[in-house]
Copies of this chain bind each other. A is one copy, B any other.
């Protein structure tokens, strides 16, 4: 039945399977699992797979290669869950609940997203691999100091930085002390968008 607990070896294999399938988008072969687990024989994998299947964590088409699937936990269709999500939750948490309306964000036409490479904004809690939702900027002169923008600097490429205006100059600051600010004439900088939200998938 689903939810039976796993031994250490079984858990180890299952965790690896989740990772593998998540980024390869297909099932590994038994011998791939064998190598990944550091084993020299397929039998232990067969055993672990059999137990994982009996306990309801995975399934596959017998005799067919690479057809293993994770049995995902069903979110919808469980009556108890609906009750918790709807009413119970509010009572469980003391704080006042607000509504996060992602649709309203989507309706802001022109939003675009960028994948963040590197850690120069780490002190602003924008991490490597995050997605930043950007709102197009038409009039850079109206940007408020400190706004996070994506800007193209000739010779430096496009980067994510805090934007500051300083007379006729523009200063672009990273949120990481390891990086020096960039100062440049305003005309030289092309601000493409300003930060609307940070999105981190997990």
Contact of A67 among B66, B100, B133, B136 (CB under 8 A): B66
Give me 21 A-to-B residue pairs in the complex whose CB atoms sit less than 8 angstroms apart, sorted by A's number. A2-B139, A3-B142, A5-B141, A24-B67, A25-B69, A29-B65, A83-B116, A84-B132, A84-B150, A84-B159, A85-B110, A86-B117, A86-B119, A87-B117, A87-B120, A89-B157, A91-B117, A91-B159, A92-B192, A125-B200, A198-B202
Known contacts A25-B69, A91-B118, A125-B200, then 18 further A-B pairs from the complex at CB < 8 Å, ordered by chain A residue: A26-B67, A75-B108, A75-B109, A78-B106, A79-B112, A83-B115, A83-B116, A84-B136, A84-B160, A87-B120, A87-B179, A88-B179, A91-B158, A92-B152, A125-B125, A197-B202, A198-B198, A198-B200
